Structure 1
Amino acid sequence: MAKKDTFRVVTRGANGEIRIKDYDSAEPLLKMHSQVGTEDSSTDLALRGMPVFRGLIGPMPEGKTIIRYESPEVFETLTKEWGAAKPKRRRRRTAAPDAAATES
């Protein structure tokens, strides 16, 4: 299991664009946000024991080494976009015509 060592915070800027900030440890987040608990129920065992912050949704896994936190507004927007996205339809291959049938 890879060690999760990057803390990513995703918020929305004043102009409406997504802002992503990465940190090497939880210390800067502890200075900016109040810790209200620790993650104890994640199916990703590397997230267990990670801090839960007031005003941020997370922790959630992103790749093998990133711990992601999102502002509630970003979480809601991205979740709606994800839910509205239609999956690509797979085309079924048609069977090749039988050689005997095409020669007739």
Structure 2
Amino acid sequence: MAKKDTFRVVSRGKDGSLLIRDYASCDPIINVHAQVGTDDCSTDLDLRGMPILRGLIGPMPEGKTIVRYETPEVFEALTKEWMAAKTKRRTRRSSAAVAAEAAQSAAS
């Protein structure tokens, strides 16, 4: 497993843009946001034991070596964007349906 060695905090600027700050350790973040617990249930085993911070959503994995924290506003906005994104759906047709369509178009 890769070691998580970068801590990223994502917030919104006054103009609405995303502000991303990277830290080499969690200490500067803990100085600003109080630690209220530790993650003990993440499916990414590298995140277990990482701090849970008041006022931030996280920890979340981002790539192999980054631990991500987001402000609630950013988390909500990015989640809404993710939910609204349309995925291209592929329909599967049986070979019988394809043959029937081909026969119908050949007959016309």
Scaled by the length of structure 2, what TM-score is found?
0.82
Determine the structure 2 residue equivalent to 1:59.
Answer: 59
> Helix, strand or coil for the counterpart of 2:87?
coil
Measured after TM superposition, the shift of residue 30 of structure 1 is: 1.1
> Helix, strand or coil for the counterpart of 1:80?
helix
Measured after TM superposition, the shift of residue 89 of structure 1 is: 3.6
Using the alignment, how far apart are the partners of 2:62 and 2:17 within structure 1? 20
Determine the structure 2 residue equivalent to 1:82.
Answer: 82
- CA deviation map 1:9-46 (0-9, x unaligned): 00000110010000000010011110000000000000
Gap runs ≥5 in structure 1: 96-104
The AA in structure 1 aligned to 2:45 is L
Determine the structure 1 residue equivalent to 2:71.
Answer: 71
Gap runs ≥5 in structure 2: 96-108
User: How many residues matched?
Assistant: 99
> Helix, strand or coil for the counterpart of 1:79?
helix
- Report the RMSD for the aligned CA atoms in angstroms: 2.1
Pairs within 5 Å for 1:13-28:
13-28=13-28
